[in-house]
Homo-oligomer: A and B are copies of this chain.
Amino acid sequence: MLSSKAKYALRASVFLSERHRDQAWILASDIAESEEIPKKFLEAILVELRDHGIIDSRRGRYGGCRLAHPPSRISVGDIIRIIDGPLALTPCSSRTQYGACADCVDPVICALRPVLQEARDAVAGVLDGCTLAQLARSRRSKSSTTRRAVA
Binding site for B on A (CB under 8 A): 1-2, 4, 7, 10-11, 14-15, 35-36, 76, 80, 85-86, 88-91, 101, 103, 106-112, 114-116, 118-119, 122-123, 125-127, 130, 135-136, 138-139, 142-143, 146
Asked whether A111 and B1 contact (CB < 8 A) given A103-B7, A122-B123, A123-B119, the answer is: no
Q: Which residue of B lies closest to A8 (CB)?
A: B103
Least Cβ–Cβ distance between A26 and chain B, in angstroms: 15
A86 to B78, CA, bound (A): 22
Number of copies: 2
Least Cβ–Cβ distance between A129 and chain B, in angstroms: 8
A107 to B35, CA, bound (A): 10
Chain B residues near A91 (CB, 8 Å)? Answer: 1
Which residue of the partner chain, among B85, B119, B139, contacts A108 with CB atoms under 8 Å? Answer: B139
Least Cβ–Cβ distance between A130 and chain B, in angstroms: 5
CB–CB B115/A2 < 8 A: no
Chain B residues near A135 (CB, 8 Å)? Answer: 108, 111-112, 115
Chain B residues near A138 (CB, 8 Å)? Answer: 111, 114
